Each structure stands twice: as C-alpha cells, then as structure tokens.
C-alpha cells in the first residue's frame, strides 16, 4: 500500500533558523517518514497536509535544528538515577537542602551521591561546601559528593564503608587524602580520573532494570534541552556490555536520541593495551564493523564509530584544571602512536584521542604524520578530543591530516579554577575558539557530561557568546568569542561531522532527518545573561515528539516510573527547576 500523499507532521507559525545557507529562514516545515519533507512559508507548507497530518502551531517561537552533543558519556552513567544532580542549582544552600532531603529517604545500605555536573562557581556563595555542612546534611548514610574528576567529599559513614585509613582500602595510584593535624583523613579526596572511576565501583551498584531506567531518564534530561543526537565517548561499561541496556530501548523503539558510540576498553584493572582489547572486542567477542548500526530502525541510532576517547591509560593527560597540566614524555607518546594507533589505521578503525594540552598534541601529531607516510589516513575519520590549549600551528596540522577537533565547554564551569592555576591571560585564549572556527577544520563543541561538566549545552553556548563563566567572571577575550549563529553551529551542523552524518543532520533542510527543537525563548534575541537558561518546549527526533513542556506538555511521551523508587530524579527531576 502506497503512503498517502502529503506530510505526516507540519510545524507552522515558527521562526525557523535552518542552519542552511541556501534557505536560512522559514516559518514552517513538513515531515514525512522521519525526514524533513519541505521547508518554507506557512501557506506553502500547510498545503501539504492531508487527513492524517499532525499540525503543531509554534506560536511564533524560535525553531532550530536538533542539538548534537559530539562528546558525552551517557553509558558511563548507568547509575544516573542513584545520583542527585546539582546541575544548574543556583545556591549552595539549596544544594545542601537537596542532600538533606535525599538522605531522609535513602534506604539503609544505599549511598547519598552527587557525581559531577556541577561547579562551586555556579553557586551564589561561589565556594565549595565545607565538610561540616556536608556531614550535617547527611549524618547517617554514606555520602560522596564528587566535583568533576578533581576531588570528592566523603562523610564518616562513607569512609568507614570504604575502609579509608585501613588495609581494606585499595592502593590506588595518584590518590591523595587530605589529613588533619593528627594525620587522620578528613574525607576530602584529590586525584585524577582513574581514582574516581575506582571509587564508583566500590559503592552499591544498580540492577539491570535500574540501569535501563537511568538510560531513559538521562536521555529525558538531554531532550529537555533540545539534544536529539549524541556521540557516547566510552567509559567503564565497555562494548558489548553497555549495548545490552540500549537494546532494551531500541527493540521497543523507545531510544529517544540518536546514540552513535565510540568504545573504550579498560580491561579488568592494571596496565593493559587498550587498543589490543578494542580490536579483540570488535573482531572476536562481538564482531562489529565501523558504521554498523545496532538499532533496527533508527538512522544513526546506535552505530559503532570506532575506538576512544581513551586509547591508552599510560598517555592519558587528565584535564584537572585545579592542578598543573599532565605532560607525557614525548618519546612515550610517539611510541604509543607508532605501535598502537598504527594498528587502528591499518584496520581502518576510526579513533578519537583524549588529549588536552598542546605539549602532548605536538608529539602525537609528529608520530601520526610519520604513520601517515607509510599507511595513509586517507579519509579515515579521527579526532582530537578536548584540545584545550592547542596552538594554531597544530590546528593546521590536524586539518592537513584530515582530522577533526571536538572541544568542550568545561571552561564555562571550571575556568575560575583554571585561572587560579594558569592565570587569566591564558584562560582568555582557552580554547582558541576564534582561530578554531576560522580554520575551517571539522569542529564541534561538546559537553563532556555527565561528570566532568553539565549535560546542558546552553551553558556552553552562553560561555562562547558572552565570554563569561557560570560565576559571571569574564573568562574569554572579546576577540575569542563567537556570534550566536557560530556557537549554535558547533552544537548542530559542525558536530554532525563526528557522526559521519553531516549530509543529513544539523540543519533544517529537505531530505535531512527530522530532528528539531522549539525553544522556550528566542535564543537569537534574548539578553546574553538568559542564554544559559534556554530550554526546549518541544523536541522532535526522527519526526516524533520526544519531549514537550508548557503548551506542548500533553505531547510529551509518558515515561515508566523511575527506578529505584527512592531515586533523587523522582523528587528533583533530571535538572534543576524541572520539578
């Protein structure tokens, strides 16, 4: 039976920013079979309706392409519903109250947790909580409050449960416990990424059903801000284990975001060759090819996009802005590229490399250029992730090798700490947004959520445009800021390159996938200080409504009850202000 002529869905009376130079503005769009059918004025588009067409009046609101977060970690947070989210909480006082409220309903045997996504500089008080405040808020349940991958705060029940100060606590590299005058650990923990990943394995773990619930509600949080595509950049849940959770949603067509993934194989602890483990996982454990989609019906639904973002623990330059840069010995970096990255290039496996500091980028590129002489990259998609302090010269070298750069918006949250470590002058040029954009290199802005920073892309967009961090401090030089259109492109059309989907994602254009967002305010005209507060009132992915608020709330899909029943998400929502 042939489809009835006309559109499945029409959105009209909108102020559409298409992201397409050929047709930059319009007032209506039509959708058919999950793709944009036509874009144009109301009268032309409404003429495409039939008896089954669903009509949505945008009420003169701003409509933009769906947001693409090219670097985030949804599958690293399969305990999402166990955690209190401090993202967007305006005062420390409110944050502490949330802790106290949650402690009263957290059952015995479980922990009260805040795991990343926040910054002390977002609070009106502009400071970290004290241990005394945290202990008062949570007196009788184990508690961990983690700030990015920089530090964590433990109360006494948590230290007792972990065996801190005893032989029960494992010997973790690079961990530092603050101690009082008697040499007793206070509960403040400093370290790098691996320390905090290890701590996470030592607390109560969710069940399989709770992990699926975590996936459902973290995606709900993304949809709330207009995110319709992400690239999951790996974590402690390696392929194919994490994919079993995604498959639960995919088989029922309930995966409300496109989720290509790259894979990170940590092994079972200790020093391992992560590249060898990756090759084994995709060729022997559960064979899969680059670009293969594990979702049965959704384009780019759950595609394997290669290895990364960490390719070796031995050359990982953790970006803890509260501490000096981690500089890898150049010969060690070169040896890693020539011996291990070479294996990926030989097998045509795309890769993404976490590398933050220019001092480490230079030897990486030295070696990659050498690899390219013998085994040409020749169209193989690869990228540098983060690249906070990359030089203009190295930007040019990446471009010549056909690579991309996925920077992130952590400076929006953590620039005040960066300034204390490196100085304001360096912060004003970190990252070099204007040279990056002007270079024409494939470029995305991303969040690196849910721990290193918030999953709200508008916080990063606000920083790129205004030059201000969440504290209100000026942290980007005037000449290093972007226009509103440029900033949005890095979260839409620019980010689509990293999905290998730039011909069908990131713009409102006929033939493109039907991913778009109606905003609660006009991003292009509101005062700068309001940009970080932008959110969606309607998010459409693959031609279906995946989120609705305000006058569209009745169109929002009903989600199953959150698990566990005592989950903080049930009481506080996925982000401050949702409940």
Question: Which three-class secondary structure string do you get for 454-512?
Answer: CCCHHHHHHHHHHCECCCCCECCCHHHCCCHHHHHHHCCHHHHHHHCCCCCCCCCCCCC
pLDDT at 579 (0 to 100)? 81
Is residue 197 domain-shared with residue 245, that is, in the same domain? Answer: no
Residue 305, in any domain of the structure: yes
Instruction: Using the 3D structure, point to which of 181, 204, 227 is the last residue of a domain.
Output: 204
Residue 435, in any domain of the structure: yes
Cβ burial of 329 (10 Å; 0-12, 13-18, 19+) is: exposed
pLDDT at 1 (0 to 100)? 41
Is residue 116 domain-shared with residue 174, that is, in the same domain? Answer: yes
Is residue 419 domain-shared with residue 274, that is, in the same domain? Answer: yes
pLDDT at 3 (0 to 100)? 62
Residue 554, in any domain of the structure: no
Cβ burial of 424 (10 Å; 0-12, 13-18, 19+) is: middle
pLDDT at 143 (0 to 100)? 98
Its domain, for residue 240, covers 208-506
> Which of 426, 435, 361, 449 has the alpha carbon at shortest distance from 398?
361
Q: Look at the pTM and tell me if it is higher than 0.95.
A: yes
Is residue 102 domain-shared with residue 219, that is, in the same domain? Answer: no
Is residue 190 domain-shared with residue 275, that is, in the same domain? Answer: no
CATH of residue 495: 3.20.20.140
pLDDT at 206 (0 to 100)? 97
Name the 3-class secondary structure at 174: coil
Low-confidence ranges of the chain (pLDDT < 70): 1-3, 269
State the total domains in the chain. 2
pLDDT at 2 (0 to 100)? 52
Is residue 137 domain-shared with residue 254, that is, in the same domain? Answer: no
């Amino acid at each position: 039976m042939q489809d009835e002529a006309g559109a499945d869905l029409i959105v009209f009376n909108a102020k559409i920013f298409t992201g397409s130079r050929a047709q930059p503005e319009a007032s209506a769009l039509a959708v058919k079979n999950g793709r944009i059918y036509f874009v144009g004025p109301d009268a032309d588009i409404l003429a495409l309706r039939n008896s089954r067409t669903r009509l949505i009046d945008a009420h003169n609101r701003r409509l933009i392409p769906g947001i693409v977060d090219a670097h985030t970690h949804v599958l690293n947070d399969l305990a999402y519903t166990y955690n209190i989210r401090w993202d967007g909480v305006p005062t420390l006082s409110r944050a502490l109250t949330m802790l106290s409220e949650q402690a009263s309903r957290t059952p015995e045997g479980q922990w009260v947790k805040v795991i990343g996504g926040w910054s002390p500089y977002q609070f009106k008080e502009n400071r970290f909580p004290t241990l005394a405040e945290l202990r008062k808020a949570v007196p009788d349940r184990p508690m961990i409050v983690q700030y990015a991958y920089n530090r964590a705060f433990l109360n006494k029940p948590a230290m007792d449960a972990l065996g801190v100060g005893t032989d029960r606590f494992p010997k973790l590299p690079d961990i530092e416990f603050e101690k009082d005058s008697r040499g007793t650990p206070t509960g403040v923990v400093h370290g790098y990424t691996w320390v905090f990943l290890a701590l996470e394995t030592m607390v109560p773990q969710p069940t399989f059903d709770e992990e699926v619930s975590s996936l459902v509600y973290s995606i709900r949080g993304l949809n709330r801000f207009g995110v319709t595509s992400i690239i999951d950049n790996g974590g402690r849940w390696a392929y194919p284990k994490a994919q079993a959770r995604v498959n639960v949603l995919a088989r029922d067509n309930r995966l409300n975001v496109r989720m290509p993934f790259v894979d990170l194989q940590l092994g079972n602890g200790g020093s391992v060759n992560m590249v060898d483990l990756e090759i084994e996982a995709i060729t022997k454990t559960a064979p899969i090819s680059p670009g293969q989609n594990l979702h049965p019906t959704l384009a780019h639904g759950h595609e394997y996009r290669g290895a990364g973002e960490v390719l070796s623990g031995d050359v990982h330059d953790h970006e803890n802005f509260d501490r000096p840069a981690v500089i890898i010995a150049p010969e060690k970096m070169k040896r890693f590229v020539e011996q291990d990255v070479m294996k990926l290039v030989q097998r045509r496996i795309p890769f993404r490399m976490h590398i933050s500091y220019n001092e480490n980028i230079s030897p990486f590129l030295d070696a990659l250029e050498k690899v390219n002489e013998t085994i040409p990259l020749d169209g193989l998609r690869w990228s540098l992730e983060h690249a906070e302090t990359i030089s203009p010269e190295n930007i040019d070298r990446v471009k010549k090798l056909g690579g991309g750069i996925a920077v992130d918006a952590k400076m929006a949250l953590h620039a005040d700490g960066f300034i204390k470590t490196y100085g304001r002058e360096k912060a004003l040029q970190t990252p070099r947004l204007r040279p990056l954009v002007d270079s024409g290199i494939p470029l995305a802005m991303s969040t690196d959520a849910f721990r290193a920073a918030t999953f709200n892309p508008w916080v990063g967009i606000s920083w790129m445009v205004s030059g201000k961090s969440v504290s209100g401090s000026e942290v980007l030089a005037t000449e290093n800021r972007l226009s509103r259109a440029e900033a949005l492109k890095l979260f839409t059309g620019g980010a689509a390159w990293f999905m290998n989907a730039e011909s069908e994602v990131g713009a409102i254009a006929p033939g493109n996938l039907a991913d778009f967002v109606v905003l609660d305010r006009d991003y292009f005209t509101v005062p700068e200080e309001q940009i970080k507060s932008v959110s969606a009132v309607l998010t459409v992915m693959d031609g279906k409504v995946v989120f609705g608020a305000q006058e569209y709330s009745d169109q929002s899909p009903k989600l199953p009850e959150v698990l566990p029943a005592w989950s903080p998400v049930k009481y506080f929502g996925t982000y401050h202000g949702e409940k």
